[in-house]
Structure 1
Amino acid sequence: MEFLRSLFYPKEIYNLIRYKMGGLTEVEQDPMSESLQTCYKFLEETGRSYAVVIQALEGELRHAACIFYLVTRAVDTLEDDLTISLETKIPILTNFHNFLYQPDWRFMDSKQKNRIVLEDFPTISREFRNLAVVYQEVIANAARELALGMVEYLSKQIESVQDWDKYCYYASGPIIIGLSVMFSVSGLEDPIVGEDTKVSISVSLLMQKINLIRDFLEDQLNGLELWPKEVWSKYGKNLSDFTKPENIVPAVQCLNELITNILHHVPDVLLYLSRLQNQRVFKFCAVPLMMAIATLATCYNNLQLFKRKVKIRKGQTVTLMMDTTDMQAVRAITCQYVEEIYKKISPKDPSSEQTQNIIATIKKLSVPDGATGDPQLAVSEQDSGLVHMGQ
């Protein structure tokens, strides 16, 4: 099926074949305890796309990133499980960071597909406690902030765009900030990477907002309304009405306005990536971010999003994994996908002018070899009006 979806993209077909033959990346091998091997097995089972880039990291940073992912996956699995009552869920989330230091804590009552990270949490927490203290502190602090943010929004609606930013920050901000700090304390990246939390938060908002765009139908089926009412109420009386064929035009217009909002984070993404010096750290960060931007281009002006789950082709994913090697490649890929969005802008779309303006800014940053200058300058010149949390 994936080969058929890439039928008209010869490069994707070629890269899919290479991927199937194991030619995507070389994974550094070193001796691991049985419990750490189990953690990497859980990583493959619960986050296959992340496993590829995590396993390409170096030494202790790789293990820390693996455990970080599994801990946040456990928090997320708890939060997502609608079969767990709030009376049970809230105390667990509130105290979750403490469970990292309790060797026998586990949770056996989840019905989620990724419940293994809760059922065998003692294995994960054991390897957490084997990490250097500095990594433990980053992971525990991030888990605490993630869980407390989830508790806040278990019974809170997303009314304004500011609420949307705050919700998305709680969902992924602590993770991106934590990883950035890890990159710096590992000595592989300069201190500025971990210190500039404003840019890290903007990167996290882009990642999480794209997830909420892509998962619209799934969230609707679960009774979740995770688009800001301040925006969608301009296009309809109820968010659920967007799934009705007669409302497809305003639904797509709402979608386009939200994607335009997300595009304002792209300059920060380019700035963040431009600071990374270690090739493995760069690829770890750049590949998911380029996939996110490709997903934006796929979702923009796409009425299919209100009928089925929309995602990029597997061939695109594999090609991005192979092609995202340096900043020149990042700029070229970014330029390619914002140009795709630009070509789909309808002059009748209420957000068309705003979309064109932010795309013009991104294009200035995406000229090959960075000919237009410092990303920081464009970020400061482009007032996105977005709220940054955690400052």
Structure 2
Amino acid sequence: MSTSALMSLLVTHPLEFFTLLRFRLFYSPKRDITAPSEHAHTGWDRKTMRRCWEFLDMKSKTIGGVIKQLEGDIARIMCIYWVVLRALDIIEDDMTIPEEKKQYLLRSFHELILVPGWKFTECNPNEKLRCMLVEFDVVNEELLRLDAPYREIIVDIAHKMGTGMADNSQRAAVTGQVYIETIADFDLYSYYVAGLVGEGMNRILAQSGKEAPWLPEQHALTNSMCVLFEYIDVIRDYREDIDDQRFLWPREIWGREIYGKTVGRPAFSKMEEMCEPSNRHQALWALSGMIVEALRRIIDTLDYLHLLQGENVFKFFALPHTINFVRMCVCYMNIEVFQKETNIRKAEIASLFMRSMNPKDVTGIYREYAGKLRKSAVPEDPNYVDLVVECLKIELWCEHYYPSQSRVQLPTPKGSIPLVFESGSRTRLSELAGKGKRDVAFEARAREIVASGKARRRFPWRKI
């Protein structure tokens, strides 16, 4: 943000100004990847690697910022990993590439990226990030510099992702179906475009010794966390995707008859109908349904974060997911989702960054925003009960592991798990054995709270 913009903010939003000022003064990134002392790790002295860092920031400055803070060579490896997979994603999203050519590119991408000097110049000229493919030869040069174990991980993930993307594209071309039909279909698609990204990161971190060797084995938690990321992305990118003729919300959600019945209309037959002002309420119910599906994956995300042992690695995962969770909460009952991409203000992002330093503080953010979302739930919403239950489950998880200081201890019903995690420490692998029973208990407790009529209270579980 420029100096003039900051001065304007001081006049219009003084509290936000001081938040950003505090962030700049006390929370600026500690690692300078351009410093000569870091060149051996970051590759900044090479023109090709500098361009890769620029590509990374084009995708997301938030992601780029946390990757740069990873220790040693891992930052550079993760940068190349993200840029390679983003280039693959651009090919999959490009609706101007003929299907036959797209099939070849997607299925052969893992081989093409190893060909010295390979690049692709035939992508959509309106694609904002097409430069990643047009100049892919610089990425290729840096990829070939990596140690063999890391390069093999990146190539393997690119192979699996490309195959999954090609299968999905081919299915749409053969059947003529432009919509994803079921939630299961969307989850499978999300596994290929997002879940595999998480698996690759786990393998890179374990290979480097930055995380435990058993982390890559946590497939279910990793996939659930990354599928959540994809849900939030397609919610926020609704308008852009519609304009580009990409229909990624599952019909099983937006085509539900109950959403139409509440306003005396038939179910949506086309996903584009949600853009129409006359369908405002019905569209908001569909949006709410998407948010409920996303919320069902929050606890898995929190469980995953609590398995991480390195401070920098924890921040690397926690910050983007915390910001994305808050962005999703802002989308609830927000009609602007159907007109443009919604976001939160820079000062709020800075505040979240400053608060996402450790597991306890991150848990506090999830508790806070889940509570806000629960209390803002609209009783007329057909998803009202499910949404409130999912919010309560998140709050109960937070209270279970990091109890609020003012909480009144109450007897635990016979046969259920304690509400408070006695040790107060981060969960570890051995504790996941009881995850199924614990999650069932959270579900039962949440529905009991809703049935009691106390779901809109600040701490509704105290007297349950």
Q: What's the secondary structure of 1:237's corresponding residue? A: coil
The residue aligned with 1:291 is: 323
The residue aligned with 1:174 is: 196
**Structure 1 residue 48 and structure 2 residue 61: aligned?**
yes
**Structure 1 residue 136 and structure 2 residue 168: aligned?**
no
**Structure 1 residue 123 and structure 2 residue 167: aligned?**
no
- Say if 1:12 and 1:318, in contact at 8 Å, map to a contact too: no
- What's the offset of the Cα at 1:28? 4.5
- Listed as ranges, the matches of 1:26-41 within 5 Å are 26-29=30-33, 30-31=38-39, 32=43, 33-34=45-46, 35-41=48-54
- What's the offset of the Cα at 1:164? 1.1
- What's the offset of the Cα at 1:308? 2.5
The residue aligned with 2:85 is: 72
Report which stretch shifted further, 83-92 or 284-293: 83-92
- Listed as ranges, the matches of 1:184-223 within 5 Å are 184-223=206-245
- What's the offset of the Cα at 1:47? 3.0
Q: Determine the C-alpha separation between the residues in 2 that align with 1:201 and 1:189.
A: 18
- Say if 1:168 and 1:208, in contact at 8 Å, map to a contact too: yes
Rate the CA distance shift 1:7–1:149 in 2: closer, same or farther, 3 A. farther
The residue aligned with 1:160 is: 182
- What's the offset of the Cα at 1:9? 7.0
Structure 2, unpaired ranges of 5+: 173-178, 260-267, 404-419, 422-426, 444-464
**Structure 1 residue 352 and structure 2 residue 365: aligned?**
no
- Listed as ranges, the matches of 1:44-123 within 5 Å are 44-110=57-123, 111=125, 112-123=127-138
List, as ranges, runs of 4+ consecutive aligned residues in structure 1 with deviation greater than 6 Å: 1-9
Q: How many residues align?
A: 385
The residue aligned with 1:226 is: 248
Rate the CA distance shift 1:308–1:28 in 2: closer, same or farther, 3 A. closer
1:259 to 276, 291, 308: 291
What TM-score results when the alignment is normalised by the length of structure 1? 0.91
Structure 1, unpaired ranges of 5+: 386-391
Q: Determine the C-alpha separation between the residues in 1 that align with 2:225 and 2:65.
A: 20
Question: Rg: which structure is higher?
Answer: 2
Rate the CA distance shift 1:199–1:5 in 2: closer, same or farther, 3 A. farther
Q: What's the secondary structure of 1:82's corresponding residue? A: coil
**Structure 1 residue 276 and structure 2 residue 329: aligned?**
no
Rate the CA distance shift 1:5–1:252 in 2: closer, same or farther, 3 A. farther
Amino acid at match of 1:238: K
Q: What's the secondary structure of 1:367's corresponding residue? A: helix
Deviations 1:317-359 (A, max 9, x none): 2222222000011100101111121111111211111111121
Relative contact order (alpha carbons < 8 A, sep ≥ 6): 1 or 2 greater? 1
- What's the offset of the Cα at 1:200? 0.3
How large is the RMSD of aligned CA atoms in angstroms? 2.5
The residue aligned with 2:276 is: 244
Rate the CA distance shift 1:189–1:164 in 2: closer, same or farther, 3 A. same
- What's the offset of the Cα at 1:368? 8.6
Question: Percent identity among equivalent residues?
Answer: 28
- What's the offset of the Cα at 1:378? 5.3
The residue aligned with 1:146 is: 161
Rate the CA distance shift 1:353–1:66 in 2: closer, same or farther, 3 A. same
- What's the offset of the Cα at 1:48? 2.2
Amino acid at match of 1:315: A
Q: Determine the C-alpha separation between the residues in 2 that align with 1:59 and 1:362.
A: 35
Q: Determine the C-alpha separation between the residues in 2 that align with 1:129 and 1:266.
A: 37
Rate the CA distance shift 1:262–1:223 in 2: closer, same or farther, 3 A. same
Q: Determine the C-alpha separation between the residues in 1 that align with 2:314 and 2:106.
A: 32
